A and B are shown apart, each in its own frame.
Chain A
Amino acid sequence: MENQKKFVENELADMAQRMKRKVLDMAYHAGKNGAHLGGALSCIEILAVLYGSVAGVQAQNPCAESRDKVLIGKAHCVLAYYTALYEAGFISEEDLDSFEKNGSDFVGHPLKNIEKGIEYAGGSLGMALSVACGMAYRAKHKGNGSRVYVLLGDGECQEGSVWEAMMFAANYELDNLVIIIDNNGIQSDGTTAEVAGMRDLKGKFHEFGGEVVEVDGHDINALKEAFGTEHARKPLVLIAHTIKGKGVSFMENQASWHHSVLNEEQYHKAKSEIEGI
């Protein structure tokens, strides 16, 4: 924790801004392979706050016993994830530039690589929360103060295994576990309400025994405050209300941008919108 760079608000905003630029560059350079843009842009601020401020990750000592761990369930958000790891000093610019190139370790879903800060190979939805529970249980058992953060998609919460794990987290009082839901309301085929009848996520997580807080997932200050919520003897669940494709007009709230190819014209338009030009 001591080595952790603590960003002030502006620095976190700057970090998020750099991440967005990089996300668009990477998606554009991925060419015909396309990339998961919508769900990356929805969790930029969440990951910026986590990696830039809240989580005690240690790029200089990635295997430190007492490190906090960040697991990504909705790991199709790799564009945001890799750029956050870059900002936190885990991965290099070359790593980022190798995105979706044959032979690269940085493909469409992350490969486990502790040295690079990737604690878990996410990508199969519904799996990460159980693994996070196991890690949180062990950290509590060891008593080393390590915390476990896990980012899930709201669509991901349609997986039954999420609720198996949530029951466990509450039953074993995993108060060193923080679950962040990137609640952008949209999945591959449409809205979460239309496709799967997702309704009151807050109520669901509350009933399953979590300390639930709703927060604007694009508001850095609000996120920081939400992460600080007391959650004695309970896992903390942050339902971060976000916009899929945030910041790019033609992507916002469009299911079609869940995974898509960015052409040159779109790239330049997106870039200028992100820069507020």
Chain B
Amino acid sequence: MQEITKKNSRVWSRLGQRGTVCGVALLEILESMENAYVLTADLGHTSGLDRVMQKFPQRFINVGISEQNLVGTAAGLALDGGVAFATTFATFLTMRSYEQIRHNAGYQEANVKLIGTSAGFAIGMFGNTHYSYEDIALMRVIPNMVVVSPADATEAYLAIHQAAVYQGPVYIRLSDGLNTAIVHSESYAFEIGKAELLNQGKDIAIIAVGGVVHEAINAVEKLQALGINPTLINMHTIKPLDEAMLYELRDYRALITVEEHSIIGGLGSAVAEYMMGISHTTQLFRIGIQDKFVHPGEQGYVKSSNGLDAEGIYAYVKRVAESFGSDA
């Protein structure tokens, strides 16, 4: 495993989350763990697994266009003592093979790592067949499943390495793209299940996940210029949720979740479920995909048309802050 340096972060940000996981981290994992396997459903090249397939032809398995078999085979390898990394587009991985994931990975606690690529609408013009904004909801309801959605390539690098040594099924949701924004440029104590405090503000907390964390960072900068200083949290692990961190926020005036996912069942829902179980005075707002199929387009277009770019988040938080009057 490599150190987190400014240089590495720069290189990885160019590769993006998928390129860093598939082209760098998985290669290292295969080198260090002889029981590790990487499986794809005909997306070897697309996912950037070329070096993996060249260097480890026996431990790289292409099942073809058959996601159910992808997950089943991965589970078989895992139930026999292997660590199986199965990857394809998040939509096909989590939806086409949902019952295989529930039954083989969740129920039987198979040590599989499901790497969903192009989560959200990262794949732009491909449209809704290739988008996934239901996957967090689907994965987090499965018992035993851990759900992680890194904020940037560096965090994806750390998450996959940590998932490799964790015993049990993990879903890693990758927000793709090349030349992506950097959130982490130096050594960072990433830990599955431990949220990251990116800004300590007051009154309003933005809780973001995945590739839109950097949009939230930009929004916070703009808000600070107005004198609004929200707390910002990178909730990279949706399950298990960092409840200790959320507990500290229980009496904030507002919590605003931000996710490239449906507002139903994802981070916003997870936060709501936790908050409703404790004594709190806060109010929850959820930025994400409303209960609809989005109009497809480039990722930036879909983000902005759903209020998920920095400008949209900024405007939303500003509105909430203003609704509280001058004391907020």
A127→B66 contact, CB < 8 A: no
What is the distance, in angstroms, from B61's C-beta to the closest C-beta of chain A?
7
Residues of the B chain whose Cβ atoms lie less than 8 Å from the Cβ of A121: 103, 107-108
B99→A131 contact, CB < 8 A: no
What is the distance, in angstroms, from A102's C-beta to the closest C-beta of chain B?
20
Stretch in A51-59, A161-169, A187-195, A209-217 with 4+ CB within 8 Å of B? A161-169
Residues of the B chain whose Cβ atoms lie less than 8 Å from the Cβ of A161: 66, 68-69, 72, 100
**Interchain CA distance A167-B41 in the complex, whole Å:** 13
Residues of the A chain whose Cβ atoms lie less than 8 Å from the Cβ of B59: 141
Chain A, 110-139, CB within 8 A of any chain B CB: 112, 119-121, 124, 126-127, 129-139
**Interchain CA distance A141-B60 in the complex, whole Å:** 11
Q: A134-B75, A137-B76 are in contact. Are A164 and B103 (CB under 8 A)?
A: no
B76→A132 contact, CB < 8 A: yes
Residues of the B chain whose Cβ atoms lie less than 8 Å from the Cβ of A164: 63-64, 66, 68-69
> A interface, by DSSP: helix, strand, loop or mixed?
helix
Q: A119-B79, A134-B84 are in contact. Are A167 and B72 (CB under 8 A)?
A: no
B79→A135 contact, CB < 8 A: yes
Chain A CB within 8 A of B248 CB = no
Residues of the B chain whose Cβ atoms lie less than 8 Å from the Cβ of A119: 79
Chain A CB within 8 A of B145 CB = no
Closest residue on chain A to residue B110 by CB atoms: A131
What is the distance, in angstroms, from B289's C-beta to the closest C-beta of chain A?
30
Q: A127-B100, A127-B104, A161-B72 are in contact. Are A138 and B81 (CB under 8 A)?
A: yes
Chain A CB within 8 A of B180 CB = no
**Interchain CA distance A39-B86 in the complex, whole Å:** 34
What is the distance, in angstroms, from A113's C-beta to the closest C-beta of chain B?
11
Contact of A130 among B58, B64, B81, B100 (CB under 8 A): B100
Per-residue interface assignment for chain A, residues 161 to 190, with 1 indicating a CB less than 8 Å from any chain B CB and 0 otherwise: 100110110011000000000000000000
Residues of the A chain whose Cβ atoms lie less than 8 Å from the Cβ of B79: 119-120, 131, 134-135
Chain A, 4-30, CB within 8 A of any chain B CB: none
**Interchain CA distance A245-B99 in the complex, whole Å:** 30
**Interchain CA distance A130-B73 in the complex, whole Å:** 5
B77→A165 contact, CB < 8 A: no
Residues of the B chain whose Cβ atoms lie less than 8 Å from the Cβ of A120: 79, 108
B64→A134 contact, CB < 8 A: no
Q: A121-B107, A164-B63 are in contact. Are A131 and B58 (CB under 8 A)?
A: no
Q: Which of A119, A135, A160, A172 has the most CB of B within 10 A?
A: A135
**Interchain CA distance A156-B68 in the complex, whole Å:** 15
Chain A CB within 8 A of B263 CB = no
Tell me how many residues of B have a C-beta within 8 Å of chain A: 28
**Interchain CA distance A131-B73 in the complex, whole Å:** 5
**Interchain CA distance A127-B99 in the complex, whole Å:** 9
Residues of the B chain whose Cβ atoms lie less than 8 Å from the Cβ of A167: 64, 66, 69
**Interchain CA distance A167-B72 in the complex, whole Å:** 13
Contact of B80 among A124, A138, A171 (CB under 8 A): A138
Residues of the A chain whose Cβ atoms lie less than 8 Å from the Cβ of B104: 127, 130-131
What is the distance, in angstroms, from A142's C-beta to the closest C-beta of chain B?
8
Residues of the B chain whose Cβ atoms lie less than 8 Å from the Cβ of A133: 69, 72-73, 76
Chain A CB within 8 A of B193 CB = no
**Interchain CA distance A174-B68 in the complex, whole Å:** 18
Residues of the A chain whose Cβ atoms lie less than 8 Å from the Cβ of B81: 138
Residues of the B chain whose Cβ atoms lie less than 8 Å from the Cβ of A127: 68, 72, 99-100, 103-104
**Interchain CA distance A135-B71 in the complex, whole Å:** 13
A138→B82 contact, CB < 8 A: yes
Chain A CB within 8 A of B235 CB = no
B108→A130 contact, CB < 8 A: no
B68→A130 contact, CB < 8 A: yes
**Interchain CA distance A126-B72 in the complex, whole Å:** 10
Chain B, 42-90, CB within 8 A of any chain A CB: 58-59, 61, 63-64, 66, 68-69, 71-82, 84
Residues of the A chain whose Cβ atoms lie less than 8 Å from the Cβ of B73: 130-131, 133-134, 137, 165, 168
B108→A134 contact, CB < 8 A: no
B61→A137 contact, CB < 8 A: yes
B72→A131 contact, CB < 8 A: yes
Chain A, 133-155, CB within 8 A of any chain B CB: 133-139, 141
What is the distance, in angstroms, from B244's C-beta to the closest C-beta of chain A?
33
Q: Can you list 26 A-B pairs with a CB-CB distance of less than 8 A?
A: A124-B103, A127-B68, A127-B100, A127-B103, A127-B104, A130-B75, A131-B75, A133-B72, A134-B80, A134-B84, A135-B77, A136-B76, A137-B61, A137-B73, A138-B37, A138-B80, A160-B68, A161-B68, A161-B72, A164-B63, A164-B69, A165-B72, A165-B73, A167-B64, A168-B63, A168-B66
Interface pairs A-B: 9 shortest CB-CB: A134-B76, A130-B72, A164-B66, A164-B69, A131-B76, A134-B73, A161-B68, A134-B77, A135-B76
Known: A127-B72, A130-B75. 4 other contacts (CB 8 A): A134-B84, A139-B80, A161-B69, A168-B63
| Chain A interfacial positions (CB closer than 8 Å to B) | 69, 112, 119-121, 124, 126-127, 129-139, 141, 160-161, 164-165, 167-168, 171-172
